[in-house]
Structure 1
Amino acid sequence: MLVNLEQVMSFLPHRDPFLFVDSVESIEVNGVQAKPGDNKDLKEVINSSITANYKTKKDHSIFKGHFPDYPILPGVVQVEMMAQCSSFMLMAFLENPFDTKLDVALLSIENAKFRKPIFPEMDLKVTAKCTKSRGPFMSFSCQIECNGELMSEASVMASVKIK
């Protein structure tokens, strides 16, 4: 594990019930493992990738309403999970990522596909690969898998600024 839940919470402003990253497993820059604080050159962000984890808890409040007799994780939450995962890409490009405050805004979602339902108690692997970067705007190709099966995918664009 590269980043634990406590570190996730020091980096992201999200909190339960809207925090959808439990840990970060890896960050790769140019095919090489990177770590938070490596202070890599931002020109290398294209094709960099990140892998994070999230376990859907059976007592999560979202399942009470979606749906009481057939609980599945809403697609909008899956997209949010992908966006949160993408934010951690910057950790390898900042000198002190846990002391840095980011202003991240989701700008667009394209080609979202929800291939299989996500149920409570699933261990999810969330991956994001940076496909474009221009100024504060970054695009990512994202996927959510469970036990090697593709559950959902989308392309997301975000504005990322250091406060």
Structure 2
Amino acid sequence: MELDIKQIMDRLPHRPPMLLVDRVLEMVPGKSIVAIKNVSMNEPFFQGHFPHHPVMPGVLIIEALAQAAALFSFEDDSGVNPADKKIAYYLVGVDGARFRRPVLPGDQLRLEVTADRISRSICKYTAQASVDGQVAAEAKLMCAIRVLED
């Protein structure tokens, strides 16, 4: 299953500049995803990180992986939609994060996430981001789903 940017925006509450997934190449609902983030010099974070040597912040690479995870985790569950204004999907844990190479303007970040455990309250994932076949970052992620009060 593939998704374009409009379909991604239908499924996630994030909007630019915090929407960090541009395209989904492969998705197995409830199991895994391969997605893309095209990294452009126009990204607002490059103005300050760093003007003399622009590098994508590692925390934003982790956020991109978490957003990719949200896309596939509930695709086959009509009761949960991360874009629903009454549902909050939070990144609550990052374990074993390692940053192996810088992500620079012009890079295409390949986001690969596999579910270790998905439930209606806590989800755990194994995630890896790469550029041109080289691992840029990897981590174990934990996300929580909460129903928001009116």
Superposed pair shares fold, TM > 0.5: yes
With the length of structure 2 as denominator, give the TM-score of the two structures: 0.88
Q: Closer, same or farther in 2 for the Cα pair 1:70/1:9, shift >3 Å?
A: same
CA displacement, residues 112-146 of structure 1 (integer Å, 9 cap, x when unaligned) = 00000000111111010011234410001100011
Deviation for aligned residue 1:162: 6.5
**Aligned residue for 2:15?**
15
8 Å CA contact retained: 1:125, 1:144 = yes
Q: Which residue of 1 aligns with 2:134?
A: 149
Distance 2:146 2:4 in 1: 23
User: Cα RMSD between the aligned structures?
Assistant: 2.1
The answer for the alignment partner of 1:38 in structure 2 is: none
Please, which of 106, 112, 118 is the counterpart of residue 121 of structure 1? 106
Higher helix share: 1
Cα distance in 2 between the residues matched to 1:127 and 1:93: 19
Aligned pair count reads 146
Residue 92 of structure 1: how far off its partner (Å): 3.1
Name the SS of the counterpart of 1:81 in structure 2: helix
Alignment of 1:80 with 2:43, yes or no, is no
1:42-81, aligned counterparts within 5 Å? 45=30, 48-81=31-64
What SS does the corresponding residue of 2:65 show, helix, strand or coil? helix
Structure 2 gap ranges (5+): none
Q: Deviations over 1:62-97 (max 9, x none)?
A: 001000000000111111011101001134323498
Name the % identity: 27
CA drift of 1:149 comes to 1.1
The one-letter code sitting in structure 1 at the alignment partner of 2:100 is R
Q: CA deviation at 1:9?
A: 1.1
